[in-house]
Structure formats: structure tokens, C-alpha cells
Amino acid sequence: MSETKNGAVTVLLGAQWGDEGKGKIIDYLIEKYNVAVTARCQGGNNAGHTVVANGRKYDFHILPSGIISPTCYNVIGNGVVVNLDAFFSELDHNGVTNDPGWEKRIKISSEAHLVFSVHAQVDGRQEDTLAAKNKIGTTNRGIGPTYSSKCFRNGIRVADLMGCFEEFSERYRRLVEHYKKQFPSIDVDLEAELAKFKAHREKLKELDLVGDTVGFIHKMRKEGKAILVEGANGALLDIDFGTYPYVTSSNATVGGACTGLGIPPTAIHYIIGVVKAYQTRVGTGPFPTELLNEEGERLQQIGQEVGVTTGRKRRCGWLDLFLLKRSAQINGYTAIALTKLDILDSFERINIAVGYKLDGEELSAPPAQAAAWERIEVEYKEFPGWMSETSGIREYDKLPEKCRKYVQFIQDFIEVPIKWIGVGADRESLIVRH
């Protein structure tokens, strides 16, 4: 994102396995570039974005991070799966409902699919059916089953809830029955759930929260407003391009911005990839650079690598440029925000993965076959650590030379400019490169 062009859409994406620090960068961009609309295009309340601002820590799961800004509109697009219980409780939890007129700043797409408690139960049951090594390690929020319902075409959309309630109730009963055939132990209090959804419906109507978000974004673009699409999860968790089947159930890569919001590709001017200076992953699945040693534990502890949604410890390892290059090929990043560089301050030596071999052969792309990941051999480049604190630094040239070499190597390898560097959790801890 450089100067805001009229109606320009910027897409911000996690370039790894999520938790790269997207929330913090979004918060910075909103203020700096006068962003008028932030929009979520995929995922649901499995996401967990942390923003440290105004002297407090916010965590957003289903709400776009722009909700903090009093002037920003927030869109939950058609590609998102919406858990209304989570939506309303998150508004309260983050104090949004205390702001007068807050409801005018939020729009949920009538085409978005609803997550029901039955989906969360199915999520758990499905995981239970898998052997330990095959479990996905989902967030248990019902995200996969809701996208399955969408594709199976028995999903229920926000518009269905807003229409005839009898019809909605009928479809809901059928959905529960469908899943009960597969998992008889599923336990749903149908009448209580329907009463709850009736209350949600009244609230959504009263506050006028549901609408045509495609038209809304189009109108804002025509008015020359800056739009920021907030990717959730990360490129390596993408349903098509991630480490399948250990992925989430939506497109967390750039295409998700178009299909999940109804934005034409030609409207996208900037694509920002958020990259953590090392690698983390929550849940199971391949992680060739994982450090199952004291160094990994130190990254976890210093980086406070704990899931924002589930509280699970994140697995940690060295930065994987082989995978990052793939992520850059798919997403076409125009700039990179490199975060959490400060976490490496006390490491005497730092490694970066620069290549993969499979059965002795150099690979040009990550393996498509799940079983092949176990046989990957990683080729590393070692860097001497800079062994000094970077958190107070605000100018690139003031970073220690060894640190700049690390950053420069990443930039040269993926051939995308690193425009921002995070050296701390709060809003101010950012180096901007010109």
C-alpha cells in the first residue's frame, strides 16, 4: 500500500500458517492510509487477530479488526461462515456496543453461511474418528462442517434466517437430521436453538446489520474510499494450496478476496503478505523446519506463541523461505510486512530454510501428496544472531548489521520488498522502510 488510490482495494494476507501478526499490521494501515472499510472474506471465528492499541489488547475472531477505528466500516463478506453467538458476544467483549452508532459501521452479507452448534459438534466427532496422527487439530468451531454444508447445498445462509422463519426452521431441522444420521450421538435442543436464532434475527433486523455487501463495497470504491481486505488464517492453510489435508476449509490466498466479497481482481491494487520472522503452526500437519528442542521452546516462550482462539501452544521453528516463495507465487505480494523480528534478538544463530529435497531430489514445489512430507530433507542457510535488543528501534538503518543481513536475505530470496518490520506487539513498534 503506498498512496491511497481512488477506490483501491488492498488485500492483506497471512503468508504462512496464520498468526503472523496480521491484526497489528491492519491496525497500522487503517490509521496511516485512512482506510474506510475493512472486510473479512473467508474463515469464521476460528481466526484470532490480536491488536494492542489504546492501552489495551483486543482479540478479534469474527469481527474485522477495523472495528477499533471509530470511522471505519466493517464488512463480513459472503465467503465468511458466521457464528452469530460469537458475533454478538465479541461485540460486547470488545466494548464495541458502548460506542454510539456502532451498528451503522457493520454489515454482514446476506449470502454468508451460518455456523450452527451442530457444525461444531460434527467438527469434534469427525476429529474423534481419526487416528491421532491423522487428526487435523481444528479449532473445533465447526468451520469445516459449515463449508461442507455450503458445498453439499444444504447450508443455511443469513438471508434464510432473515426471511420466513418457518422455512428457516424447517431447513434447520433437516440439517440436524442429516448430521444425526452420520453421528447419532449429536445432541441438539432444537426448540432452544430455534428460539435463540429467532432472537438473533430480531436483533439483526432491529440494528439493520444484514445487507448487500457486494453493492456496499462497490459504492465505497466508486466514492474513492480505501478498502482493506483482512485475510484470516494463512496461505499454507489454504484449502487448495496449503498442506492438505492439514488445512482450514476456505481459500486463505488472494482468490478468496474476490470470491468471498464479490470484488473483481482488477480492483485489487496492493497485496500485502504478513510474514513472521520465524515459523509457527497450531494444530497438526507437516512442519519441516519445526524445532523440537530447547530452541523451539525458547521461540514459543519469548514469542508468547499461544493460540488466540483455543489457547493451544503453537509449534515453532525456523523461517521457511521455500514455502514462503510458493506463498508469494500464488498471492503476488506487492509488499511484505515482516513481524516479530524482536523475538530473534537473543538467538546466537538463526537458520532459514532455502530448499527441500525429497528422496535425495531437489524440489521445485512443495509436495502435493500428504505422505511425502515425512520424507522431506530441509536445506538451511545459517545466520549469526545479532544478540541485541531491537524493540526500541524505529529506523531500518539503526538495526544491527547482522539483523539487516537477515532481512535483506529474505527480501532477495522472495523478490518482494519488505516495507514494514515489527519489533514489538504494540502499534508503535514498527519500522517503516521507504
Residues taking part in catalysis:
19, 49
Decide: is 48 part of the binding site for ligand 2SA (CB under 6 A).
Answer: yes
Would you say 371 and 133 are in contact if contact means Cβ atoms under 8 Å apart? no
Task: For ligand 2SA, give the closer residue by CB, 7 or 18.
Answer: 18
**Cβ atoms of 65 and 49 closer than 8 Å:** yes
Taking CB under 6 A as the binding criterion, the range among 135-143, 150-158, 263-271, 382-390 that sits at the site for ligand 2SA is 135-143
| Selected range binding ligand 2SA among 69-77, 113-121, 305-313, 387-395, rule: CB under 6 A | 305-313
Give the footprint of ligand GDP on this chain (CB under 6 A). Answer: 14, 18-24, 48-50, 52, 308, 339-340, 342-343, 422-425, 429
Point out which span in 16-24, 167-175, 184-192, 362-370 binds Mg ion (CB under 5 A): 16-24
CB atoms within 10 A of CB 194: 15
DSSP single-letter state for residue 123: H
What is the DSSP code (8-state) at residue 344? G
d(CA 362, CA 145): 37
The nearer residue to ligand 2SA, 197 or 246, going by C-beta atoms, is 246
Contact region with Mg ion (CB under 5 A), list: 30-38, 166-174, 189-197, 301-309 = 301-309
DSSP assignment of 283-318 equals SSS--TTB--SHHHHHHHHHTT-B-TTT-PBPEEE-
Spatial separation of the C-alpha atoms in residues 389 and 88, rounded to whole Å? 41
Written as nine digits, the cell of 307 is 493460540
46 CB-near residues (< 8 Å, 6+ apart): 61, 138, 139, 141, 143, 232, 233, 248, 309
* Single-letter amino acid, residue 228: L
403 binds ligand 2SA (CB under 6 A): no
Give the list of residues 6+ apart from residue 336 with CB closer than 8 angstroms, or none.
Answer: 15, 272, 273, 274, 275, 410, 411, 414, 416, 417, 418, 419, 420
Contact criterion met (CB below 8 Å) for 176 and 186: yes
Q: Which listed residue (36, 68, 282, 344) binds ligand 2SA by CB under 6 A?
A: 282
- Minimum Å gap between C-beta 282 and ligand 2SA is 4
Nearer to Mg ion, 117 or 280 (CB): 280
- 48 lies in the site for Mg ion, by CB under 5 A: yes
- Closest residue by beta carbon to ligand GDP: 422
Judged by beta carbon distances under 5 to 8 A according to partner kind, the member of Mg ion, ligand 2SA, ligand GDP, none in contact with residue 22 is: ligand GDP
Q: Minimum distance between the CB of residue 244 and ligand GDP, rounded to whole angstroms?
A: 21
When asked if residue 19 is in the footprint of ligand 2SA (CB under 6 A), the reply is yes
Specify the residue, 18 or 64, whose C-beta has the smaller distance to ligand 2SA. 18
Contact residues for ligand 2SA, defined by CB under 6 A? 17-19, 46-48, 136-139, 141, 143-144, 233, 237, 246, 248-249, 282-283, 285, 307-310, 312
